Every structure is written in structure tokens, then in C-alpha cells.
Chain A
Amino acid sequence: MSALAYTITDSTTMLGRNLRRLRRYPSLTLMLVGMPIVFLLLFVYVFGGQLGAGLGRGLAGGHAGRAGYLNYLTPGILLMTVAAAVQGTAIVVAMDMTGGIIDRFRTMAIARACVLTGHVLASLIQTLVSIVVVLGVAIALGFRPTADPADWLAAIGVIALFAFALIWLATALGLAAKSVETASNTPMFLTLLPFLSSGFVVAASMPAGLRQFATYQPFTPVIETLRGLLTGTHIGGNAIGAIAWSVGIGVASYLWAIRLYNQRHAR
């Protein structure tokens, strides 16, 4: 077999290992999927009536009140699902790195990248499954996307690309953490960022300073692009912003993660 074939075989083996580990540790996934669902229910049923009243119909997929707010909120909740899921990535990466098994892998003649590739691919699958679950709950509550098949494909692409970037970021955070506890805390800021974006309320309604932050931080263009694809709102330059942020975060985090991985045990 060639070196590339070995890399693919070993990465597939590691992917299988990590998916199996996730199945053996279901409480982690349940906790991470539960969080955005709780926020979805909270915001739709507690705040939704009043928040929906303040939205124009144009932003709410043509609906008013609570139903309109559900349409407005769902893209942001989907992104929050991504942010929550990658917290799990940091935890499982740190579990591996602080355990003894990583030394075993490093003394075996296996493709060097396969340990991290296995984690990233497993996390991507886990994140996409979480997205499907949360989306299912939103639809059950009355979320009515207007997307055609091409829009759906594009939406999946946008989510997957952003998820891929955040997974590499979480992988790096998991590698940087000295303990599993630290690794479960450091990515938490990611789950806060959707609140400080256009995910829950229109950025224009925020005070100066916060408004600029909300407008220019990475989650906003991704949420706006997703909202446009799913409910037909105006996307404009947000698509470029979403792709640029995803690629930027992804590449920087990838390089950081690889550097940490190669350094980590060389001390």
C-alpha cells in the first residue's frame, strides 16, 4: 500500500474508533444536544411572543408573533448546536491526549495525522447528526423553511464548513488544555457568541459597541446566510463573510492544532 492509502486506512480506523467511543458515552452527546433544544424551547415559548411582535414580517418568513420568532430564531439555534457540539470535540481530544493511549499510537508505525483526522471526522458526523435532531425539534414546533433542494444543499454546505472550522478550533483547544476539565471550559465562549450575534435579536436593535461587535463577529454572517437559504431573507454580502470566516478560522485552527500535536509530547 502507498503512504496515502495507509493514511486513509488508518484515518478510517480512527474514525470508527471515535464513533464507537461516542456511542459508548451517550451522556456527553445528549448533554450537548440538549443545550440548544432547551434554549430553543425557552426562547420560543417564554420570550417568543414578545420578541416576535418586535420583528418585521420580512425577517420572520412571513409569519407573525411566536411563529414568526421561531422562524427567525432557528438558524441561530442551529449554529448554537454547532458551538455546543464542538465542546464535546475538545473534551474527547483532551481525554485522549491526557490518557496513556496516545503514547501507544505515537510509538506505532501509523500515519501521523490519523489520530486528529479521526477525531475531526467523528466530530463532524456527530455535529451533523445533532443538527438534524435540533432541526427536527424546530420543525415539530412549527418551523417552516421555504428552501428548495438547492437551498438545502447550500445550507448543509454552509453549516458543514463552519462546523469543520469550529471543530478544528476545538481540537486545538483540546490539545492546548492540560486537563479534561479545562478542555470542557475553554470552548464555552463559542456557545455565548450566538447570543451576541443576530441569532436571537436583530443586531440593529443593540446599543453602539455591542451592535458593531454583533455585526462583524463570525456567527452573524453565517446565521444570516443560513436564514436566507432556509427562510428566504436577504443574504447579500453575508455569504462571502460566512465562507471567509469559516475558511480563516479553519486554516488557522488546523495549523495551530497540528503544531500543538507535534509539540505536545516532545517535551
Chain B
Amino acid sequence: MIGAGGPAIEAAGLCKSYGDALVLDNVELAVAEGTIFGLLGPNGAGKTTIVRILSTLIPADCGRMRVAGRDVVADPDGVRGSIGVTGQFSAVDDLFTGEENLRLMADLNHLGRTEGRRRVGELLDAFDLADAARKPVSTYSGGMRRRLDLAMTLVGSPRVIFLDEPTTGLDPRGRRTMWEAIRDLVATERVTIFLTTQYLDEADQLADQIAVLDRGRIVAEGTPGQLKRRIPGGHLRLQFTAPDALEAAERALEGASRNEEHLTLQVPGDGSVAALRRVLEELDDAGVEIAQLSIHTPDLDDVFFALTERPAAQQAAVL
């Protein structure tokens, strides 16, 4: 998973505690250049702490970290020169207009007058903020604020971008827009993105690599596909119209479990065409008619709940 240029972010033996509470426990990470890395975990898992350490905001208690080829501890200014951070809490100036916020970033990035103006105009257009450019940010919607926040992060053309829960609190349309913006960034500018999220579908949609963080430990790592294959739960669901058909089907298929009430049968399987054909042939041979069929592959929800060692019911109760 390490690209030609070496990893854009690497951390080894990262730990951090607040008093007696161990927040991060020996975290290892490597993110290849030009990819999106998703750090997935429930609230309080330590996601934000990792972002704050890697973006030089707080020191770690131990561990070695390099971001964009610079050592986070020895050369924090070098790191700051290559990164952009959009945190969980809106980092925009409410008393300013969108354009003024971006101009402030251009000035602090020492872009110069002409280049600053050009970059600000470009970002206002790219993030669909040109119409609202001269309105105070206090009048912006949640989605507009997030887009401005991300646009401000991009003014200095960072190579590595940290996005801490970038869509928390956004409506579905706002989330889609944000996802597109993030995908565009990687596609057009080949930046590396370190994303934290508590939304499984978000990690699934965006990330090339995912690490699942639970109580300060990385409990699993891989591509979304690899993670899904790591846990059982794939099955076919067959629906019948009459109890005798259900019974006949159960006799014909080994390992199936039935639900009398719903007249359904659950057949374990990996969802491949071969497995599907085998089931259909066996039912054909037994002369059983199927009313409906659906294929269920494990989604990241299953992975998440299996890995964070808390049953789904308990998770739901917490939410």
C-alpha cells in the first residue's frame, strides 16, 4: 500500500493519555500519497486526538510520526507548511464574508495580491460560493459553512489534508456535495486525505483504506472490501408463499435457517453467482417455487459492530 513516494502520513507507537485515561494505545498508521484514508470509530474512540497530534496541535506522549516527509515533533513548522486541517468545529470568522475569510487565508499563506485574488476567486467558484461571497458567514447554511471551511483549508494548496468528521451535522444533500468535493480533490490535485468519520457509509464511499479505531486501538485495517470479507454474515434470503414450500426448501438446502413468521429462509453464502446457481438448481430439483430472492453481503455496519465488540442492540441503545 506504500506508493512510490513513500507514505504521506506514518505513525508508529503513537500513544497519549489524559491523567489515568489512556486515549491512544500504540497506534500504527501508514497512508499512501494521493489516497483517501478513513479513520472510522465511535465517539470517544480517539479519532480527533490522532488528528490533533498529527496536525501539530497537541504533543503525543510517545511514538514517531512523519507527515509529508517531515517529522511532526522535530519540524512542526515544516509539517504546518504542507498540511491543511478542517476540524470538527467550524473554523471560519463569522463577522467576515466568505470572500474575506478566504482573503485572510491568502494573506496568511503569503500568496501576494494578484495570486491571492486569483486563488480566492477560483475556490469561490469551485465550492459554489461565488453568489454568497460578499455575504457575512453568519448568514450561511451549515453546508455552506463546511464548504467555506474546506475552501479556506485549500487556499495554501496543502499536500496533506486532515478532515475531522467533515459531514457531521449536514443534511443528505450537503453530505453528497462534500463527498464530491473530496473526491475531486484527490482526482485533480493528487492530495492525500486523512478523514475521520463515525459514518460507515462515508468511509465506504470515500476511503481507499480504512482503519477502525476503538477505545484508542486500531482494531482492523484494510480496504472496505477486505474488511467486509473479514466477517461472516453474507447470505441469501428466500421468500416463499406457503409454509410447505418453506419446509421443502429447508429440507433441500443444507445449513439454512427458517423464519416461520415471515416465510423466509436464510442460506449462508458469499453471494457469488456459482453459489446462487447451486441454490436455485437444488430448489428446482426439489420442485419448490420461490416468491422472492435477495442477496445480503455484510456492510460496514456489520464489520463495525463485530470489531468494536459491542452488540448492535447495545450500539443502538447508545445512539
Cβ of B77 and Cβ of A21 under 8 Å apart? no
Q: How far is the CB of B43 from chain A (nearest CB, A)?
A: 18
Cβ of B87 and Cβ of A265 under 8 Å apart? no
What per-residue 1/0 map shows which CB atoms of A5-25 lie under 8 Å from chain B?
010011001001100110011
From A6, A25, A266, contact of B95 by CB (8 A): A25
B129 interface residue per 8 A CB criterion: no
What per-residue 1/0 map shows which CB atoms of A87-109 lie under 8 Å from chain B?
00000000000011101111111
Q: How far is the CB of B12 from chain A (nearest CB, A)?
A: 22
A150 interface residue per 8 A CB criterion: no
Q: How far is the CB of B58 from chain A (nearest CB, A)?
A: 6
Q: How far is the CB of A131 from chain B (nearest CB, A)?
A: 24
What per-residue 1/0 map shows which CB atoms of A128-165 lie under 8 Å from chain B?
00000000000000000000000000000000000000
Cβ-Cβ contact count across A and B, 8 Å cutoff: 64
Cβ of B58 and Cβ of A103 under 8 Å apart? no
- Interface size range of chain A in the complex: 20 to 34
Q: CA separation between A110 and B95, bound complex, in Å? A: 22
From B85, B90, B108, contact of A10 by CB (8 A): B108
Q: How far is the CB of B212 from chain A (nearest CB, A)?
A: 25
Cβ of B96 and Cβ of A20 under 8 Å apart? yes
- The A contact surface, by secondary structure, is helix
- Chain B: which residue is nearest A101 at the CB level? B91
B302 interface residue per 8 A CB criterion: no
- Known contacts A10-B108, A13-B107, A100 near B91 by CB under 8 Å: yes
- Chain B: which residue is nearest A13 at the CB level? B107
- Known contacts A106-B57, A107-B55, A267-B58, A100 near B104 by CB under 8 Å: no
Cβ of B85 and Cβ of A104 under 8 Å apart? yes
Cβ of B108 and Cβ of A110 under 8 Å apart? yes
B28 interface residue per 8 A CB criterion: no
B305 interface residue per 8 A CB criterion: no
From A17, A107, A265, contact of B104 by CB (8 A): A17
A4 interface residue per 8 A CB criterion: no
- Known contacts A20-B96, A24-B95, A101-B93, A109 near B87 by CB under 8 Å: no
Cβ of A107 and Cβ of B80 under 8 Å apart? yes
Which chain B positions have C-beta within 8 A of A10? Answer: 108
B198 interface residue per 8 A CB criterion: no
Q: How far is the CB of A10 from chain B (nearest CB, A)?
A: 6
From A13, A24, A100, A103, contact of B108 by CB (8 A): A13
From B77, B85, B90, contact of A109 by CB (8 A): B77
Which chain A positions have C-beta within 8 A of B59? Answer: 266
Q: How far is the CB of A11 from chain B (nearest CB, A)?
A: 11
Chain B residues numbered 1-48 whose CB sits less than 8 Å from any CB in chain A: 18
What per-residue 1/0 map shows which CB atoms of B80-111 lie under 8 Å from chain A?
11011101011111011000100010011110
Cβ of A13 and Cβ of B95 under 8 Å apart? no
Q: CA separation between A16 and B91, bound complex, in Å? A: 18
B249 interface residue per 8 A CB criterion: no
A1 interface residue per 8 A CB criterion: yes
Q: CA separation between A39 and B87, bound complex, in Å? A: 45
Q: CA separation between A10 and B153, bound complex, in Å? A: 17
Chain B residues numbered 91-145 whose CB sits less than 8 Å from any CB in chain A: 91-93, 95-96, 100, 104, 107-110, 136
From A20, A24, A25, A100, contact of B90 by CB (8 A): A100
Q: CA separation between A110 and B77, bound complex, in Å? A: 8
- Chain B: which residue is nearest A12 at the CB level? B107
Q: Which of A10, A101, A265, A267 has the most CB of B within 10 A?
A: A101
Q: Which of A1, A6, A17 has the most CB of B within 10 A?
A: A17
B166 interface residue per 8 A CB criterion: no
Q: How far is the CB of A97 from chain B (nearest CB, A)?
A: 12
- Known contacts A1-B110, A104-B87, A24 near B80 by CB under 8 Å: no
B224 interface residue per 8 A CB criterion: no
Which chain A positions have C-beta within 8 A of B93? Answer: 17, 21, 101
Cβ of B87 and Cβ of A100 under 8 Å apart? yes
- Known contacts A104-B152, A107-B55, A107-B56, A21 near B95 by CB under 8 Å: yes
Q: How far is the CB of B161 from chain A (nearest CB, A)?
A: 11
Q: Which of A9, A24, A25 has the most CB of B within 10 A?
A: A24
From B58, B107, B152, contact of A266 by CB (8 A): B58
B216 interface residue per 8 A CB criterion: no
- Chain A: which residue is nearest B95 at the CB level? A24
Cβ of B91 and Cβ of A104 under 8 Å apart? yes
Cβ of A13 and Cβ of B87 under 8 Å apart? no
Cβ of B100 and Cβ of A20 under 8 Å apart? yes
What per-residue 1/0 map shows which CB atoms of A173-205 lie under 8 Å from chain B?
000000000000000000000000000000000
Cβ of B57 and Cβ of A103 under 8 Å apart? yes
Cβ of B89 and Cβ of A100 under 8 Å apart? yes
Cβ of A103 and Cβ of B91 under 8 Å apart? yes
Which 3 A-B pairs give the minimum distances between C-beta atoms?
A100-B89, A100-B91, A104-B91
15 contacting pairs across A/B (C-beta < 8 A): A10-B108, A13-B108, A20-B95, A21-B95, A24-B95, A24-B136, A99-B91, A100-B91, A101-B93, A103-B91, A104-B87, A108-B80, A108-B156, A266-B59, A267-B18
Known A103-B57, A110-B108; 19 more pairs at CB < 8 Å: A1-B110, A10-B108, A13-B104, A13-B107, A13-B108, A20-B96, A21-B95, A99-B89, A100-B92, A101-B92, A101-B93, A103-B91, A104-B152, A104-B153, A107-B83, A108-B108, A109-B81, A266-B59, A267-B18
